[in-house]
Amino acid sequence: MQQPVKMGRIAAVVPVQDMPSAERFYLEALGFKKVFENGNPLGFMILKRDEAELHITLQPQHKAAHYPIAHLLVDDASAMFALCQQAGARIIKGVQDKEYGLRAFVFADPDGNRIDVGQILPIA
């Protein structure tokens, strides 16, 4: 019998056409910190904020998907929504309380990548 495999961290890889724009958005607007970068010109970076981690990769021919490519859990979806609006992110779906126990919304980054944001609501 095979031993179960223990899994560790998994991080979304976000493709972008414009690395400087993505860097400004995620670092300055959303408050991520760059913990690794590679390439000259910059072609890859790892960003972290609290428990969240994103890997940003330069893909000059990238076309954004019409669905979320990552899900981000936060402790305050309304505050995150306000932060995204202030940053000029395109809001795909506004904040809604879902029947499955999440307060959620979807935004798009400057390259059109959709991120689904959710806050776990207390059980009533």
Range list of H helices, the chain = 19-23, 77-86
What tens digit of pLDDT does each residue of 3-30 get? 788 888 889 999 999 999 999 999 999 9
Task: Report the pLDDT value the prediction gives residue 63, as an integer from 0 to 100.
Answer: 96
> How confident is the model at residue 124, as a pLDDT?
67
pLDDT digits (tens, 9 = 90+) for 25-38: 999 999 999 999 99
**Confidence label for 1 from pLDDT (cuts 50, 70 and 90):** low
Per-residue pLDDT, 9:
86
Q: Measured between alpha carbons, how far is 43 from 14 in angstroms, rounded to an integer?
A: 12
Q: Average pLDDT for residues 86-93, to the nearest whole number?
A: 96
Give the rounded percent of residues in the chain with a pLDDT score beyond 70. Answer: 98
Sequential DSSP letters for 79-112: HHHHHHHHTTPEEEEEEEE-TTSEEEEEEE-TT-
